[in-house]
């Protein structure tokens, strides 16, 4: 028990583990949970990084995960589409329900089509054109109908607010785009598979401020269509883009509440210290 110093108090525990289905503890105003995480523990063999996280991801809204480096926020969202277990020695326990189904009982490949992911650094496929990058999720999974692929590529690029910039050079190399464009291309690529949930792992950390602003606008627009979980180092970004915010500290979920409340009137002293910049 290395956490003795910050053992959560009783009232907080009820907050950390919302009773699913109980009307009174619906996680967010309006939205019902699309994903329900229960007692998720994860690590890399040498010990747990996450010590039992429970939270519900509301539908069609943005959930931000904030916390200092090494608090397990990336590990957390990588568990949600089982990318965590790709790393050698990685393991996770607990339950994650997607529409009532336990994701650890699902086929990981199927799961990842429903829970897409965009990474910290833009990672377009270097050998493919812009068009082929966006189409990759479809063509690699055997969609042969060219009209369908073409339609979905355009729709996804429009969805990612990139269409107007690339429509005349769809056959050009994806690596020829700027960093911000590449990241939006990666978002378009993820959208093309039509996921229910999009996980964003610090999507703006490699981008300049104007490119960041464009991605944030995009997140706002996408919220109407799907649920987004975003990990961010940048508290202003969390405050700008999300409706719900979870504060992680050393592998524990300290507080999970409406974003406004987290940033104006947090229940926990540690959250307050973090969002006011006293540590982290």
Partner 1 sequence: MKRRKVVNAAMLTLTGVCALLSLSALFAILGYIAWKGAAAINWGFLTQLPKPVGETGGGIAHSIVGSAKVVGLAALLGIPVGVLAAVYLAEYGNNKLGFLVRYAADVLNGIPSIVMGIFAYALVVVPFKGFSALAGSVALAVILIPMVTRSSEEFIRMVPGSIREAALALGVPQWKVILFVVLPTASRGIMTGAILAVSRIAGETAPLIFTAFGNRFWDEGWTHPIAALPLTIYNYAISPYRDWHEQAWAAAFLLLMFVLAVNVTARTLLRPRGGAAQG
For partner 1, which is the closer residue by CB, 53 or 134?
134
* Angstrom distance (rounded) from CA 232 to CA 73: 9
Binder among 63, 74, 75, 81 for partner 1 (CB under 8 A): 81
Is 206 an interacting residue with respect to partner 1 (CB under 8 A)?
no
Binder among 16, 121, 196, 261 for partner 1 (CB under 8 A): 121
Is 126 an interacting residue with respect to partner 1 (CB under 8 A)?
yes
Is 124 an interacting residue with respect to partner 1 (CB under 8 A)?
yes
Is 125 an interacting residue with respect to partner 1 (CB under 8 A)?
yes
Task: Report in angstroms the alpha-carbon separations of 246 from 54, 56, 176, 227, 235.
Answer: 11, 10, 36, 15, 11
For partner 1, which is the closer residue by CB, 88 or 277?
88
Nearest alpha carbon to residue 274 among 27, 63, 6: 6
Is 86 an interacting residue with respect to partner 1 (CB under 8 A)?
yes
Is 186 an interacting residue with respect to partner 1 (CB under 8 A)?
yes
Q: How far is the CB of 178 from partner 1 (least distance, A)?
A: 12
Contact 31/60 with Cβ under 8 angstroms? yes
* Angstrom distance (rounded) from CA 274 to CA 249: 10
Is 88 an interacting residue with respect to partner 1 (CB under 8 A)?
yes
Contact 191/159 with Cβ under 8 angstroms? yes
The C-alpha angle with vertex 188 and arms to 182 and 194, in degrees rounded to 5, equals 155
Is 277 an interacting residue with respect to partner 1 (CB under 8 A)?
no
Q: Is the dihedral of CA 25, 27, 32, 37 positive or negative?
A: negative
Q: Which stretch binds partner 1 (CB under 8 A): 173-181, 204-212, 239-247, 269-277?
A: 173-181
* Angstrom distance (rounded) from CA 228 to CA 218: 11
Q: Which stretch binds partner 1 (CB under 8 A): 108-116, 155-163, 224-232, 267-275?
A: 108-116
Instruction: Determine whether 79 is exposed, middle or buried from the number of CB atoms within 10 Å of its CB (0-12, 13-18, 19+).
Output: buried
Binder among 34, 56, 117, 188 for partner 1 (CB under 8 A): 117
Q: How far is the CB of 173 from partner 1 (least distance, A)?
A: 6
Site residues for partner 1, window 134-163 (CB under 8 A)? Answer: 136-137, 140-141
What 3-state DSSP class applies to 277? coil
Instruction: Using CB under 8 A, list all residues that contact partner 1.
Output: 81, 83, 86, 88, 109-114, 116-117, 119, 121, 123-127, 136-137, 140-141, 173, 175-176, 186, 189-190, 193
């Amino acid at each position: 028990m290395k956490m003795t110093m910050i053992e959560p108090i009783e009232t907080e525990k009820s907050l950390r583990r919302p009773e699913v289905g109980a009307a009174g503890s619906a996680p967010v105003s309006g939205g019902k949970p699309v994903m329900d995480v229960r007692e998720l523990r994860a690590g890399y063999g040498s010990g747990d990084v996450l010590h039992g996280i429970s939270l519900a991801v509301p539908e069609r809204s943005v959930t931000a995960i904030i916390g200092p480096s090494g608090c397990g926020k990336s590990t957390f969202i990588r568990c949600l589409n089982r990318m965590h277990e790709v790393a050698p020695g990685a393991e996770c326990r607990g339950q994650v329900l997607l529409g009532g189904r336990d994701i650890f009982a699902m086929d990981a490949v199927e799961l990842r089509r429903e829970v897409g992911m965009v990474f910290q650094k833009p990672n377009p496929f270097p050998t493919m054109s812009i068009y082929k990058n966006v189409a990759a999720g479809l063509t690699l999974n055997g969609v042969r109908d060219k009209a369908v692929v073409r339609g979905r590529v355009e729709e996804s690029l429009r969805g990612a607010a990139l269409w107007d910039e690339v429509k005349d050079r769809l056959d050009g190399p994806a690596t020829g785009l700027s960093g911000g464009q590449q990241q939006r291309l990666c978002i378009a690529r993820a959208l093309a598979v039509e996921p229910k949930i999009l996980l964003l792992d610090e999507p703006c950390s490699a981008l300049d401020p104007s490119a960041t602003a464009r991605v944030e606008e995009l997140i706002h627009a996408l919220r109407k269509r799907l649920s987004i979980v975003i990990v961010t180092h940048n508290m202003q970004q969390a405050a700008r883009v999300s409706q719900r915010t979870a504060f992680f500290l050393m592998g524990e979920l300290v507080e999970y509440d409406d974003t406004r409340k987290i940033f104006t009137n947090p229940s926990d002293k540690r959250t307050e210290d973090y969002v006011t910049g006293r540590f982290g």
